[in-house]
């Protein structure tokens, strides 16, 4: 390098550094302005969330620690939570919710198999797709009324058993605590078949068909293709189905329970969601209903956080 070039390079370096510092400062100022703009633009939405969710939740927490009949509220204090967790009826209701969660794998697995068969375009697949979607198109109240007649002592199920020679096995499933819960779980599974089948069919429609063709060329059977190719690629759809099915098991069964069993016999089919209704509108103990509502809110919040963790994208793209 000549002396002139060295002098020129020496003169340029400070200018480049100044330009670099100036560029970083401008970028930093732009980032701060964008951050402030983002905060300002999100304030109306935040205010709406606080007004519609935050305030009611705060009121529910307050009233949960009172004896409230809908008009007057007498403060009791946090001791109501201690008394609640010592109440055996409360734990019986929570146990019902936990047992209903055992139906979730069936509410996901059965539609997954149905979707796999429909995706193969078996004979009459359009007709069967409409049939399986039927539970989604009708009200849960109607489903509950149908299930009540199906599982009753003189209902469809017992008539079918009598016609095939198993009349001695006929029973009123809605009359026993455990059998009524089983009937409720079966109805819940059936009610979720349409929704989850559509979710899985949508997921299968997005898959690259060349992957299946390549698997067939490699000699894999349909069953092997399903478990080794299709199922791993449906991970996100299965996780989404899991989320909505769990939420439904905790907070969407009121109509079924009200129509089928009214929470009975005893507390055999009473869930925490239905327990809130019984305390508030049958016993006129709105403070107790608020207490149960807060507990259900906490349970659903924890379940939501766990589910968000499960569906969080990772580097491997797996579970």
pLDDT tens digit sequence for 182-211: 999 999 999 999 899 999 998 998 888 888
Which of 149, 133, 87, 112 has its CA nearest to residue 288? 87
Check pLDDT > 80 for residue 268: yes
Selected residue with higher pLDDT from 247 and 128: 247
pLDDT at residue number 318 = 41
Predicted confidence band of residue 91 (pLDDT cuts 50, 70, 90): very high
Q: What is the pLDDT confidence band of residue 50, given thresholds at 50, 70 and 90?
A: confident
The model carries a pTM of 0.80
Among 29-33, 51-55, 66-70, name the one with the lowest average pLDDT. 29-33
- Pairing of β 73-75 and β 66-68: antiparallel
Binned at pLDDT 50, 70 and 90, residue 99 comes out as very high
Q: From the CB of residue 187, how many other CB atoms can be counted at a distance below 10 Å?
A: 25
Indicate if the pLDDT at residue 131 is higher than 60. yes
For residues 105-128, average pLDDT: 86
- Cβ pair 191, 204 in contact under 8 A: no
Average pLDDT estimate for 80-107: 93
CA-wise closest residue to 243 among 205, 196, 207:
196
Confidence of residue 290 (pLDDT cuts 50, 70, 90): very high
- DSSP per residue over the chain, as a string? --HHHHHHHHHHHHHHHHHHHHHHHHHHHHHHHHHHHHHHHHHHHHHHHIIIIIHHHHHHHHHHTEEE-SS-EEE--THHHHHHHT-HHHHHHHHHHHHHGGGHHHHHHHHHHHHHHHHTT-TTHHHHHHHHHHHHHS-HHHHHHHHHHHHSTTSHHHHHHHHTT-GGG---GGGSHHHHHHHHHHHHHHHHHHHHHHHHHHHHHTS-HHHHHHHHHTT--HHHHIIIIIHHHTHHHHHHHHHHHHHHHHHS-HHHHHHHTTT-STTTT--HHHHHHIIIIIS--HHHHHHHHHHHHHHHHHHHHHHHHHTS--TT---
pLDDT of residue 16: 47
């Amino acid at each position: 390098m000549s002396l002139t070039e060295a002098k020129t390079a020496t003169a340029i370096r400070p200018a480049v550094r100044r330009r670099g510092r100036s560029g970083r400062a401008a970028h930093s100022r732009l980032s701060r302005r964008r951050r402030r703009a983002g905060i300002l633009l999100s304030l109306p939405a935040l205010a709406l969330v606080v007004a519609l969710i935050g305030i009611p939740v705060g009121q529910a927490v307050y009233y949960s620690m009172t004896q409230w009949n809908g008009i007057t509220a007498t403060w009791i204090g946090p001791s109501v939570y201690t008394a609640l967790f010592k109440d055996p009826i409360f734990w019986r209701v929570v146990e019902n919710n936990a047992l209903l969660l055992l139906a979730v794998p069936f509410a996901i697995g059965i539609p997954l198999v149905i979707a796999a068969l429909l995706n193969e375009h078996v004979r009459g697949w359009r007709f069967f797709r409409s049939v399986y979607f039927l539970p989604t198109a009708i009200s849960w109240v109607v489903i509950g009324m149908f299930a009540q007649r199906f599982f009753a002592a003189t209902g469809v199920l017992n008539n079918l058993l009598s016609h095939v020679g198993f009349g001695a096995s006929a029973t009123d499933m809605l009359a026993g605590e455990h059998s009524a819960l089983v009937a409720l779980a079966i109805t819940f599974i059936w009610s979720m078949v349409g929704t989850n089948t559509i979710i899985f069919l949508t997921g299968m429609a997005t898959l690259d068909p060349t992957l299946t063709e390549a698997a067939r060329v490699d000699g894999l059977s349909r069953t092997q293709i399903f478990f080794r190719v299709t199922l791993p690629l449906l991970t996100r759809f299965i996780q989404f189905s899991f989320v909505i099915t769990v939420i439904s098991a905790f907070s969407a069964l009121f109509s079924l329970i009200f129509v089928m069993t009214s929470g009975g016999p005893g507390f055999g089919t009473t869930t925490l969601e239905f327990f809130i209704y019984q305390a508030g509108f049958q016993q006129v103990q709105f403070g107790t209903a608020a207490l149960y509502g807060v507990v259900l809110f906490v349970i659903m919040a924890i379940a939501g956080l766990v589910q968000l963790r499960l569906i969080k994208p990772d580097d491997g793209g797996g579970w």
